[in-house]
Structure 1
Amino acid sequence: MANPNYSFQPTPSHKAPPRPPGPRPLSVLSTLSATSADSEGTASRKIALRLYRAEELPSLYSPPEPDQQGHSIVPVQNSSNADTKKNDWDGEDDRARPTNWPAWKKALNIGCLFLMCIVSTFISLVPGSVVDDLMRELDTTDQSKSSFVLSAYMLGYAFGPLLVSPLSELFGRAPLYHACNLLFILCAWRCGAAHSLWTLAVLRFFAGVGGSSIFALVPSSIADMTATRNRGRIFAIIVIGYSIGPALAPVTCSYIMAKLRWRWVFYVTAAMGGFVTLLSIACLWETHEPILLRRNASCNREKFGKPYPRSNLNIAFEKGGPSVVLQAMSMPIRILLSPTIPLLSLLVAIAYGLTHLLYATLSTTFYLYGWTTKLIGLAYMGTLVGSVLGLVAASVLSDAIVRRRAENHEHSATARLFPMVFFWPLVSVGLVIYAWSAQYETIWIWPLVGTGIFAAGAMSTLLFALTYIMEAYPTDPASGTAAVIVLPSLLSCVVPVFANKLYNKFHVGWTFSLLAFIALAFAPMVWIFYQFGGHLRGCERHGKFTTEPASEGNVVCKKEKISGKASGVNAENV
């Protein structure tokens, strides 16, 4: 019988010898048996169980040694060198992984990102009434110069992601969100105090760099939190946010201009940005897994007082910090120069450029209908309604195709592009309906129907492109997005400069008919890209940014050729 006066209290420094293979020690078995008949009952059984724990389960009560696996959220992985011990998730169902977060936490993150998309795109296009007032106050009559100054915001959209996206892969999404939001607020506020066109141009450019986080980071943040089978629906919410901003801006600005001056448009935008920034500081969590693993590794090192576990990023920066940063910063350019991305980026650029051209001339068209300045803002509602309906249908169809292929044990990133074959012709159809109904001044509803059909095709193209990038480049999603968005942003920067000249020369009918035929000429490219995208992906040589430790003495940042496989995915995912 166990001695009731004996008391065992396991301590962190205690480590019992391992039990030899075979049946349990007889002393422990006899102790357990004796306690069943012990008159003292519960007290003796507790003593015996403590003895059993001390002798049989020491790993649960002692810290992990260099040759053991720690029992923690981030388990320690064995390696040939103690300095290279790494941490990882505790299985696929680890609740700390962003994909396994509770629904309310994901909803808060997605809500913050959705509001960022609205605020950033709200000021991307300045309505004509604001431009006219601005030109009068700044004493200029050059319409093309003022249009370019205002479109400098889109130039920031082009260059911002090339800097922001790779930095987020190294330092996390959340810090970059907050930094970009602050830059956006400061520059938007100073735009309201500008006294020359060139000062306004510089401030608009840096405001665009700050606002570019909606393209540089938001898609990758959504991919961090969502499973592939439901990704299309969540991305549709974000792309709807891209559509709401430009559609609401003319309505809001018309009421601001009715009582205030053009400067208040920028002040109101800065105030909106401030609200979203405060909300994101309170409710936006980090989603990038390497950063979360690095934080967990740091907590475990402090807890156990050991030099391990360490994350891949820790090891990477220790063995080749400058090389890691250099390769990460060059990744968007390398992806942009790959065979597939220029083709996809060109399709997105056509859709996005035509959207900006339509927005730039829509007010001129509806002035012919005798609409007042306040009513002109309602002309943009057709694009908003069309975008929402088109994106809902596109996301449901895209996810259904992915799920059907998953049931057949097939997965291909190009499957996300298949619905584009049917949605891309809507761009041309919508433009033709809008062009000739406006040319002959039919009832006002028909031009709005045309803009709605056009927006359904154009914005769904952006949705398909983003979901494709997330699945084709799972290890570098932010850099992939940055590569795709460069050309569309550059084209959108140039479009407002010649939009009015083109409109005045060919009028609305032939201007948009010509653009519709150009868009239709690219329809076969969508099918070709869908059919041969996998082969083109197999020819890529840009390599991938990885923080996996290389062999001893080598720099951790390595470049891997892709031969028939996409980075970090199955062979079929091409």
Structure 2
Amino acid sequence: MKSPLDITDEPRFYLQEQMQEHLRDHYLELTPDTKFVRWLRDNPRHPRNWPTNRKIYDTALICLLDLVITASSTAGAAAASQARHEYKVGHTFATFCFVTLFLLGQCVGTIVFPPWTESFGRKKLYIISSALSCACCIVIGTVNSLPVAIVMRVIAGLVSAVPGNIVGGSIEDLFNSQARVWAIYWWTVASNIGLIVGPIMSSHIVAYLNWRWVFYIYAIVMGIITGLLFFIRESRSSLLLTAEVEVLRRQIEGIPPALNHDHMPTMRTFMKEHLFRPAQLFCGEPIVFTISMIISVVMSLIYMFTEAMPIVYQSMGFTRPQASLMFLAIGLGTCLSAFTRMLDSQIINKRRRKGLPIRPEDKLVGLGIGAPILAISLWWFGWTIPPLIQSPSIPWIVPTVSLIFVGFSLTEIDTVLYGYISDSYLSYSASATAAVGFFRGLLSGVFPLFTKQMFHGLGSNFAMSILAGVATVFCIVPPLFLCYGERIRRRSRFAAYSWEIQSEMGKDDSDL
């Protein structure tokens, strides 16, 4: 039986009023043109209005997933150093199999998964990613076959792109502009800690157990996380709105469809338009292209350090497991970024008190601090290590202190630039992040292949000087973004359209 709203002899304006009232009862409303239904801003089912405990659980778990999967990527270097003897292959080829192929698989995943989540949702992919990562680790650890290990490592890399590239989209779903400052920070810290924990844990496991136990332990952890992921919620607001409106439309005739800019496409449309969206953003958006270059080179340093740190510190008399502990200095530096996030919050609150809108450029202070500190700390490290410095008057702690500032600057650059993408592209942040992730994975996979040759051939001092020189060039980017970022965004088709979407759907980026 149809609702009384279906009675056709009532005046149309009365039916319209009834419809509006019925929608308001469900915290929904018609768009100004009355063609679609959208959220009311206080709708408790909108992800940004979920209870704080729910947001904390979901965000913490997906960040933990990213931490563990990221750690498994950097763990490959230590595993390869021992597995190569078992499989009778060279060091470079073993590194290619256990590190590079993982990251190349991740590159492919960054193209496929983020736009998929914008069209089909996020929760299922988190579960699939975690479960397949667990399965791949089990197979690599138990099967005595290098070809099988190669295939599993590629698949593990493919699914690792899920948390690494769509967590930013999930954070945009759940938090407004001010809250995203901290949410993006904790995500970045989790990811960077994963990069740091991987070499430390794997080096000690390999030294005291066996390289296969690296994968057994990751399989256990990923299995636990997979079970916990079943309790998170889908956070893509357009999909939630569509599902809710479809229920009402089956009950009441005449209700318009949901305002869904991410409507379910056909597979052909998905392949043609959505699958290549990250490539469109990378090639056509100056902001995305520039950020991709910076993050890719900067974050590839961690993968280079997995090979370079043993070279540097073994020349000082350390063992490989002891050399891996120097990553703790980088980890300590990541924690110092909390002070910069406090500064960001003060800037945002000041603009709010003045009634000024919050622009993505208002959160670029950390980039202005982090970029020069990275350059200085790399020059510092590069010229206080052997073979240039052999004197016992300069102990190992001197270059190690510089790694604290490296960790701080890496986290600042990573946090601020990913946050800038999320704030600038909003609904398309997952695809924009995917464009960055693709190039980051590509360089991170390639750099370890020539790190040993670079440090042995050029010497550690000159090799680090090249990296420091590149970091010095990046110092020009913060003032460029601060001066011209807003102008570039306004000319961007994707950035401008994503802000229009937020307005049409009744979701102001400054709202809770």
With normalisation by structure 1, the TM-score equals: 0.78
Return closer, same or farther for 1:324/1:487 CA change in 2, 3 Å cut-off: closer
Say whether 1:75 aligns with 2:25. no
Shift of 1:231: 1.4
Say whether 1:113 aligns with 2:66. no
Please, which of 434, 442, 450 is the counterpart of residue 490 of structure 1? Answer: 442
Aligned 8 A contact 2:119 2:263 in 1: no
Return closer, same or farther for 1:67/1:400 CA change in 2, 3 Å cut-off: closer
Aligned 8 A contact 1:339 1:537 in 2: no
Say whether 1:223 aligns with 2:175. no
Please, which of 402, 406, 413 is the counterpart of residue 461 of structure 1? Answer: 413
Q: What residue is the counterpart of 2:91 in the other structure?
A: 143
SS in 1 for 2:309: helix
Shift of 1:277: 0.9
Deviations 1:301-326 (A, max 9, x none): 45x254745323499448x7743663
Aligned 8 A contact 1:438 1:508 in 2: yes
Aligned 8 A contact 1:74 1:296 in 2: no
Shift of 1:486: 1.7
Deviations 1:14-51 (A, max 9, x none): 999x999xxxxxxxxxxxxxxxxxxxxxxxxxxxxxxx
Return closer, same or farther for 1:387/1:525 CA change in 2, 3 Å cut-off: same
Equivalent positions of 1:166-177 (< 5 A) are 166-177=115-126
Computed over aligned residues only, the root mean square deviation of the Cα atoms, in angstroms, reads: 3.2
Name the aligned partner's letter for residue 484 of structure 1: V
Return closer, same or farther for 1:349/1:315 CA change in 2, 3 Å cut-off: closer
Q: What residue is the counterpart of 1:162 in the other structure?
A: 111
Say whether 1:88 aligns with 2:88. no
Name the aligned partner's letter for residue 87 of structure 1: V
Aligned 8 A contact 1:87 1:297 in 2: yes
Aligned 8 A contact 1:420 1:461 in 2: yes
Q: What residue is the counterpart of 1:334 in the other structure?
A: 280
Aligned 8 A contact 1:475 1:567 in 2: no
Equivalent positions of 1:333-352 (< 5 A) are 333-337=279-283, 338-352=285-299
Equivalent positions of 1:14-413 (< 5 A) are 69-75=22-28, 77=30, 86-89=36-39, 91-126=40-75, 129-140=78-89, 142-150=90-98, 151-282=100-231, 284-302=232-250, 304=251, 306=253, 308=255, 310-313=257-260, 316-317=263-264, 322-323=268-269, 326-337=272-283, 338-389=285-336, 391-408=337-354, 409-413=356-360
Q: What residue is the counterpart of 1:534 in the other structure?
A: 486
Identity of aligned residues (%): 21
Return closer, same or farther for 1:64/1:497 CA change in 2, 3 Å cut-off: same
Q: What residue is the counterpart of 1:52 in the other structure?
A: none
Please, which of 437, 450, 464 is the counterpart of residue 384 of structure 2? Answer: 437
Shift of 1:80: 8.2
Aligned 8 A contact 1:300 1:309 in 2: no
Q: What residue is the counterpart of 2:401 in the other structure?
A: 449
Deviations 1:208-227 (A, max 9, x none): 11111122211111111112
Whole-Å separation in 2 of the counterparts to 1:166 and 1:503: 39
SS in 2 for 1:96: coil
Whole-Å separation in 2 of the counterparts to 1:497 and 1:330: 29
Aligned 8 A contact 1:474 1:567 in 2: no
Whole-Å separation in 2 of the counterparts to 1:567 and 1:380: 43
Whole-Å separation in 1 of the counterparts to 2:159 and 2:217: 17
Higher relative contact order (CA 8 A, sep 6+): 2
| Larger helix percent | 2
Deviations 1:135-180 (A, max 9, x none): 100011x222222222211112222121110110111111111122
Q: What residue is the counterpart of 2:373 in the other structure?
A: 426
Whole-Å separation in 1 of the counterparts to 2:41 and 2:31: 19
SS in 2 for 1:383: helix
Return closer, same or farther for 1:67/1:518 CA change in 2, 3 Å cut-off: closer
SS in 2 for 1:88: strand
Return closer, same or farther for 1:155/1:78 CA change in 2, 3 Å cut-off: closer
Whole-Å separation in 2 of the counterparts to 1:428 and 1:293: 47
Name the aligned partner's letter for residue 151 of structure 2: V
Whole-Å separation in 1 of the counterparts to 2:261 and 2:358: 33
SS in 2 for 1:438: coil
Name the aligned partner's letter for residue 149 of structure 1: C
Aligned 8 A contact 1:64 1:70 in 2: no
Shift of 1:199: 3.6
Return closer, same or farther for 1:194/1:307 CA change in 2, 3 Å cut-off: farther
* Largest Rg, 1 or 2: 1
Whole-Å separation in 2 of the counterparts to 1:102 and 1:445: 46
Name the aligned partner's letter for residue 317 of structure 2: G
Return closer, same or farther for 1:128/1:158 CA change in 2, 3 Å cut-off: closer
Q: What residue is the counterpart of 1:500 in the other structure?
A: 452
Q: What residue is the counterpart of 1:30 in the other structure?
A: none
SS in 1 for 2:73: coil
Shift of 1:76: 5.5
Deviations 1:406-452 (A, max 9, x none): 43413322232243122101111211222222222532222221111
SS in 2 for 1:425: helix
Structure 2 unaligned blocks of 5 or more: 504-508
Say whether 1:481 aligns with 2:433. yes
Name the aligned partner's letter for residue 399 of structure 2: P
Aligned residues: 493
With normalisation by structure 2, the TM-score equals: 0.87
